[in-house]
Amino acid sequence: MSALHLYNTYTRRTEVFETLLPGRVGLYVCGPTVYGPPHLGHVRGPVVFDVLRRYLEFLDFKVRHVRNITDVGHLVGDVDEGEDKLQKQARLEQVEPMEVAQTYTLAYNEMIRLMGVLPPGIEPRASGHIIEQIEMIQAIMDAGLAYAVNGSVYFDVLAYAQHHEYGKLSGRVLEDLIAGAGNEARELEGQEEKRNPNDFALWKKADPEHIMQWSSPWGKGYPGWHIECSAMSRKYLGDVFDIHGGGMDLLFPHHESEIAQSTACTGHNPARFWVHHNMITINGQKMAKSLGNGITVDELFSGKHPLLQQAYSPMTLRFFILQAHYRGTLDFSNEALQASEKGLQRLWKAAETASGLKAAAHNEYDVNAIVAACAAAMNDDLNTPQVIAQLFEAARVANLCNDGKLALDAANIEALQQLFKVWMEDILGIRTESAGDDQALDGVMQMLLDMRAKAKADKNYALSDEIRNRLSALGLVIRDGKDGSSWSRN
RNA sequence: GGUCGGAUGGCCGAGAGGCUAGGCACAGGUCUGCAAAACCUUCUACACCGGUUCGAAUCCGGUUCCGACCUCCA
């Protein structure tokens, strides 16, 4: 494909990506609710949309990337009678809600930074945009599509549905929702206040003991979950913007409600493209805190979890995520992670090999064919697995050339080097993790390698083996190559 | 129960009417004091039953199994 195509959940079709304004892209992505340590599932979205953002920038778009932090507003919804998620956690830990939010916001950002995710241009917090949310709620009320009851405000789904489609994004039929509404599962707090069980909260009245609360025209309270994204995306990207992204589990009710809120307020679906990534599963099941099968990112990086056979590096995780298409589920397993780890190392080595290739007078391989294939794959709804397959083809070419089995001229060698730089590093964001940043250690290791080389030259194998074995016991592996030895942490 | 999506070789995962996905593992080879590593080569699969077609993993119908959403969720 010669132009970027994206699957639009709203239309259920793959469409040519066209921007509202020439050369500019407004991209809003739903960020995490920061009430616990980030797990594997939290990290897929940031990586997927980081690659989208990088690719858009590669295509010379100026991207305004907004990713929010939800630090207020989620209702627990079950036995806790609408208690705010953040507040609940805070009570357990005996700290301020904002302290909890800050702790996990920092943890989240640190984890994805390690994975090479570029920071968004704007990272708004829900708690910092209460005024905007109140204004938006007021506008929806002014439009006659929301009502206040006893200090809370609810969105009037039935009134809205008279003039707009409700349920299109998530493929839901309102009649079915109404029919299913009587089910036993719907015992939400405040249900008796609603005109219709499908109405959702825009503003919730807070009890006096509720720590997180703000003044509003309807009394002290706090905003509903869905309104924050509507208010913040509108503030920074306008009434209508190009791409709204998030996980598929947010389709309903979150994104459906966002569309309803924005439409009620501005008359428009806020996003031209709705892009959703699929879930990470473990043994075929969604990873979720409530299911107790979550592995935190920190546990993955340290290897400290019963399900983990070893630690996996941040780039291994990134590579693992990108080896699957973003709209498919991705099943976690040690075997799969280990396969990614090895494949990634092969790519890195090949990139290094490519940087040292010597040009031949004639040429036997057209590297630009690989480049074209990479572009076609990305344009086809971000098919990163195919881009990676092309990178492995490039690795093969680099290795063959290095072995003298394939001739490349200067132009093609240059193209090959650029291929790794542009497609692997810049666009997929896969960068080398340096084995040791410790210069002293590097120096010591080089000294030992030199001494061992001398021992080998003297056929003193007892000594050379001792050096290798003792380093191995320390977790430092020596590999003998054709052009000398190298080392790495196991 | 409703809505939607899946079932691909030992594992992970692309593709989508005829043409190699790719990675990992396995096997063979090159290299090597030994070992490891690295590199090259190889391995031909699409849940089941019907149908459409010159031709189906890919389209249609049915069956079985799995998952997601419908309630907070990346």
Q: Is residue A232 part of a domain?
A: yes
- Say if residue A83's pLDDT is above 80: no
Give the DSSP letter of residue A247: E
Q: Is residue A107 part of a domain?
A: yes
Q: Which residue is nearest to nucleotide B25 (CA to C1')?
A: A339
Per-residue CA distances from A364 to A264, A376, A402, A407 (Å): 61, 23, 13, 5
Q: Is residue A326 part of a domain?
A: yes
Which is higher by pLDDT, A78 or A197?
A: A197
Q: Is residue A83 part of a domain?
A: yes
Q: Kindly report the average pLDDT of chain A as a whole number.
A: 88
Based on the fold, state whether residues A409 and A457 are members of the same structural domain.
no
Based on the fold, state whether residues A265 and A337 are members of the same structural domain.
no
pLDDT confidence band for A207 (50 / 70 / 90): confident
Give the DSSP letter of residue A367: H
CA A108/CA A95 separation, integer angstroms: 19
Half-sphere exposure for A290 (CA within 13 Å, toward CB): 3
pLDDT at A94: 64
Q: Of A246, A277, A308, which residue is a domain's last?
A: A277
Nearest nt (C1') from A290 Cα? B73
Which is higher by pLDDT, A74 or A96?
A: A96
Based on the fold, state whether residues A415 and A452 are members of the same structural domain.
no
Based on the fold, state whether residues A66 and A179 are members of the same structural domain.
yes
Q: Which residue is nearest to nucleotide B2 (CA to C1')?
A: A176
Q: Of A427, A456, A472, which residue is a domain's last?
A: A427
Percentage of residues in chain A having pLDDT higher than 70: 91
pLDDT confidence band for A67 (50 / 70 / 90): very high
Two tokens, residue A190: 């405040």
Based on the fold, state whether residues A256 and A341 are members of the same structural domain.
no
Q: How far is the CA of A12 from the C1' of B53 (A)?
A: 29
Task: List the one residue out of A125, A121, A153, A160 whose CA is nearest residue A31.
Answer: A125
Q: How far is the CA of A484 from the C1' of B67 (A)?
A: 51
Nearest nt (C1') from A452 Cα? B33
Q: Is residue A432 part of a domain?
A: no
CA A142/CA A415 separation, integer angstroms: 59
Beta pairing, strands A476-481 & A285-286: unpaired
Q: Is residue A57 part of a domain?
A: yes
Based on the fold, state whether residues A199 and A57 are members of the same structural domain.
yes
Domain span at residue A242 reads 5-277
Q: What is the largest CA-CA distance in chain A?
A: 90
Across the range A150-169, mean pLDDT stands at 91
Give the DSSP letter of residue A248: G
Q: How far is the CA of A187 from the C1' of B2 (A)?
A: 19
Residue A489 Cα to chain centre, angstroms: 28
Q: How far is the CA of A283 from the C1' of B64 (A)?
A: 20
CA A62/CA A23 separation, integer angstroms: 6
Q: How far is the CA of A373 from the C1' of B21 (A)?
A: 12
Based on the fold, state whether residues A54 and A94 are members of the same structural domain.
yes
Percentage of residues in chain A having pLDDT higher than 90: 62
**Residue A270's CATH number:** 3.40.50.620
Nearest nt (C1') from A187 Cα? B71
Q: Which residue is nearest to nucleotide B66 (CA to C1')?
A: A284
Total domains in the fold of chain A: 3
Based on the fold, state whether residues A214 and A181 are members of the same structural domain.
yes
The region of weakest confidence among A70-84, A117-131, A171-185 is A70-84
Write out pLDDT tens, residues A254-303.
Answer: 999 999 999 999 999 999 999 999 999 887 778 876 666 789 999 999 98
Q: Is residue A158 part of a domain?
A: yes
Q: How far is the CA of A216 from the C1' of B16 (A)?
A: 55
Q: Is residue A288 part of a domain?
A: yes
Based on the fold, state whether residues A288 and A273 are members of the same structural domain.
no
Based on the fold, state whether residues A322 and A408 are members of the same structural domain.
yes
| Nucleotides of strand B under 7 angstroms from a protein beta carbon | 1-4, 10-16, 21-25, 31-41, 66-74
Nearest nt (C1') from A344 Cα? B23
Q: How far is the CA of A482 from the C1' of B31 (A)?
A: 8
Q: Of A427, A447, A468, which residue is a domain's last?
A: A427
Based on the fold, state whether residues A72 and A130 are members of the same structural domain.
yes
CA A481/CA A349 separation, integer angstroms: 13
**Residue A305's CATH number:** 1.10.730
pLDDT confidence band for A74 (50 / 70 / 90): low
Nearest nt (C1') from A338 Cα? B24
Based on the fold, state whether residues A186 and A47 are members of the same structural domain.
yes
Which residues 6+ apart lie within 8 Å of A186 measured at CB?
A197
Q: Please report which helix (H) or strand (E) contains residue A463, including its range.
A: helix A461-473
Task: List the one residue out of A197, A326, A170 whose CA is nearest residue A258.
Answer: A170
Q: How far is the CA of A250 from the C1' of B61 (A)?
A: 34
